[in-house]
Amino acid sequence: GQNIDQPTEMTATEGAIVQINCTYQTSGFNGLFWYQQHAGEAPTFLSYNVLDGLEEKGRFSSFLSRSKGYSYLLLKELQMKDSASYLCAVVDSNYQLIWGAGTKLIIKP
């Protein structure tokens, strides 16, 4: 079966750094997405990785290791508005998106 694992919930402090991990087992791989979803809102695109390595975009970075079936989302200089769920999703060999359940990130002052 296909599976995406990420922690259910994480807590971090404003101004700090947090890393949200995602591991996957899928039939094929055609890329990995991270989406942010604030409570009561729609998911919005954060990043896309298809090659190994780190992609940096402002305060957010995403890393991929295809051989390990592993990705992480790194958030720096945390702000209260970063409190949200972060969804990992993998594109399988049929170009279907397989979604993780999301990691709820709680930021404390």
Q: Which residues bind other proteins (CB under 8 A)?
A: 30-31, 33, 35, 37, 40-45, 48, 85, 87, 89, 91, 95-97, 99, 101-102, 104
What the block records as the tokens of 38 is 């604030």
CB of 35 or CB of 72, closer to other proteins: 35
| Nearest CA among 58, 57, 73 for reference residue 18 | 73
Q: How many CB atoms lie within 10 A of CB 96?
A: 14
In sequence order, the β-bridge partners of residue 13 are: 108
CB of 37 or CB of 76, closer to other proteins: 37
CB of 8 or CB of 67, closer to other proteins: 8
Closest separation between CB of residue 99 and other proteins, Å?
A: 5
Q: 8: buried, middle or exposed (CB in 10 Å: 19+, 13-18, 0-12)?
A: exposed
Closest separation between CB of residue 91 and other proteins, Å?
A: 5
